[in-house]
Chains A and B, each alone.
Chain A
Amino acid sequence: DVKVTQSSRYLVKRTGEKVFLECVQDMDHENMFWYRQDPGLGLRLIYFSYDVKMKEKGDIPEGYSVSREKKERFSLILESASTNQTSMYLCASSSATGVDTQYFGPGTRLTVL
């Protein structure tokens, strides 16, 4: 069974802290994605990666960075968390030929105080 896992379901951090969100997939997928989801705004793409060590900016990359050292793992980093980064963060993966079929993790609800 296809599985995408995220390191935490809920996370509370303070302004200025460095935050790491981890995502692991077990499907040998080439593509991995990080989205944030806010009420009324849908899912907005932060960054994606189509191969190990490769990354591309999405629509809202400011304030975020990513790391993909291994195929199965994609990390989202908030260098200095701010209150406007309070959100639900969703990780997804897809095969190289099936980018439209994305498999999502359960999400991490991050609160920045």
Chain B
Amino acid sequence: GQSLEQPSEVTAVEGAIVQINCTYQTSGFYGLSWYQQHDGGAPTFLSYNALDGLEETGRFSSFLSRSDSYGYLLLQELQMKDSASYFCAVSGGYQKVTFGTGTKLQVIP
């Protein structure tokens, strides 16, 4: 089976940097992805890591360490519109993806 752990809530100040961690246990592993979901909206894809290291996409970066079964999403220069829930997700083969329970990020002025 697969299980993921991420913090349930994080609060950060506008303009700051925040890191959302995700640890996973899987029977098979292809990659770690991140999704953003605003209240009342649908999840939208942010990033994907299949190999160890950092992937950068604008203000967002995602990191993966396969040996530690660990990854994180880094949000820089936080803006109020970044207030949302963030989900990590693991693909373990057979076209199946398992999502974490989500981290609710609140950005405060």
Q: Which residues of A contact B (CB under 8 A)?
A: 31, 33, 35, 40-45, 48, 50, 56, 58-59, 90, 92, 94, 96, 99-107
| Chain B interface extent, by class | 20 to 34
Take A100-B31, A100-B48, A101-B48 as given contacts and tell me if A90 and B42 are in contact as well, using a CB distance cutoff of 8 Å: yes
Task: Report yes or no: B33 in contact with A100, Cβ–Cβ below 8 A.
Answer: yes
Q: Bound state CA distance, A33 and B89, in angstroms?
A: 14
Q: Bound state CA distance, A60 and B100, in angstroms?
A: 15
Q: Bound state CA distance, A103 and B48, in angstroms?
A: 14
CB distance from A37 to the nearest CB of B (A): 9
Contacting residues, chain B, for A107 (C-beta < 8 A): 42
Chain A to chain B: the 10 pairs with minimum beta-carbon distance, closest first: A42-B101, A104-B42, A43-B99, A100-B33, A50-B95, A100-B48, A100-B91, A99-B95, A104-B43, A42-B99
**Contact for A48 among B43, B95, B99, CB less than 8 A:** B95
Q: Which residues of B contact A (CB under 8 A)?
A: 8, 30-31, 33, 35, 41-45, 48, 87, 89, 91, 94-102
How many pairs, one residue from A and one from B, have CB atoms within 8 Å of each other in the complex? 59
Contacting residues, chain A, for B35 (C-beta < 8 A): 102
Contacting residues, chain A, for B45 (C-beta < 8 A): 101-103
Contacting residues, chain B, for A42 (C-beta < 8 A): 87, 99-102
- Having A102-B35, A104-B43, one finds 9 other A-B pairs with CB under 8 Å, namely A35-B99, A45-B98, A56-B94, A90-B42, A100-B48, A100-B89, A100-B91, A104-B44, A107-B42
